[in-house]
Amino acid sequence: MCEQCVTEAVTVVRDVIPGFMLMKAQKSGREWKAGQYGLVEMNDPTIVFDGPLAADPGRGMSDDELNALFDQPGEDGQCFRSLDDAYTEAAERLQPALELDAVTGYRLVKACVEVGYRPGEDGFLHYWLMHRMATIVGARP
C-alpha cells in the first residue's frame, strides 16, 4: 500500500511546484511520520520533511533595510532576528531531504525553475523552496 494511503495524507497545496503536491501525513507510515510534510509526485512522497513551514521575513529587502530591522522589536514584540531564525531553521530542516538521486533532483530543480527559482541569484534551493511553500499556504513570517 502506498505511503499516501497509509498515512491518510491530506493535500495542502496542489502543484506547489509543477508536478509536486505538498501534502501532510495524518498518521505514521513506514517512511512518512504523522505531522511531516511531503512533496508527492504520485503515491509515495518524493521528499519528506519536518515542519513548520516558514516564510523568509526579509525577502525583497535591501541589505540596509535588513540591517536596520535586526534587534528592533516588531509590532507583536518579536524581533526580526527571531523571525529570521525560525525561517532559517525551517529551511535547514528541509535541506537533507533534498539530497536526491540525479534524475529526481533534476525534476525537482526543473519544476522550481519553471516557477521562478534562479539558481545563480536565489542561492540555495532549500531556502527558496521553503519560502515558496510557506507563502503559497499563507504562512506569514
User: Contact, 10 vs 17, CB < 8 A?
Assistant: no
What sign results for the dihedral spanned by CA atoms 113, 118, 122, 124?
A: positive
Which pTM was predicted?
0.84
Q: State how beta strands 20-24 and 37-40 pair.
A: antiparallel
Give pLDDT tens digits along the chain (141 positions).
Answer: 688 889 999 999 999 999 999 999 999 999 999 999 999 998 899 999 999 999 887 666 656 655 565 555 555 545 544 556 788 899 999 999 999 999 999 999 999 999 999 999 888 999 999 999 999 998 655
